[in-house]
Structure 1
Amino acid sequence: MSEFVKVAKVSEVLPDSLLAVEINGQRLLLVNLGQEFYAIDARCPHRNGPLEKGHLYENEGIIECPWHYYRYDVRTGKNLYPRNVYPADLTYLERDLKPLQHYRVRVEGDEILVEFHGDRKE
């Protein structure tokens, strides 16, 4: 069963910025890209780097991990780098290219809500 959980106020997440929040024991990043809000895990799936200390390329919707410079689309969680430079024939490298976990977001007035599915992430 899924539910939307209030995690922050719109006014707390400045335009083109990140805000780290903890909800249900999990650390998430809220991203405000031109008043469109996204929620992603705060840890890089490569080696658990702290994405809140990473760089947000707000014009492109990309977050870069400060540890190994892995890049992810905050809207979809898709790995953008190094996926774009790995040779297709080296399939064993796929293990390092996990997507970034992302969550559905809903805004109601000044409240940002994130959808959770029990213990399962979407």
Structure 2
Amino acid sequence: MRTVRLGINCAYIVLAALVAIAVGSELAIDHPTGHGSATFALLLFGGPLLYLAATAWHFHTTAHGAWAERLLGCAALTAAGIAAIWIPPLASIALLDIILITTALVLAHTHRSLAHTLSTPPHT
């Protein structure tokens, strides 16, 4: 029952993260060559950061794996979010893409390893 409640709570956090990134993306679309701002950086990078943090919490609690990689992604998003205050929104989007693609590739490898570990019966 605890896992179900954790999954539902995680889903609410993920929904909030998706809304934040949608609003940040809309700001970038409106002014792609404008100036960055703290609000823009918080929305554009905070959304994915919130998503990764929530899923890290979920994977740490349920599968006991694949969470550290998400926290590394959070660290990269934090640094990029700080930089996004001073760089144009279009450059911020490119930076976000690089971080998310790299994180997705690392997580794909990690999840393959985790699935193998969880499906292999323990040796007695």
Q: Identify whether the pair has TM-score above 0.5, normalized to the shorter chain.
A: no
Scaled by the length of structure 1, the TM-score of the pair is 0.27
Greater percentage in strand? 1
Work out which of the two has the higher radius of gyration on C-alpha atoms and give 1 or 2. 2
| TM-score (normalizing by structure 2) | 0.27
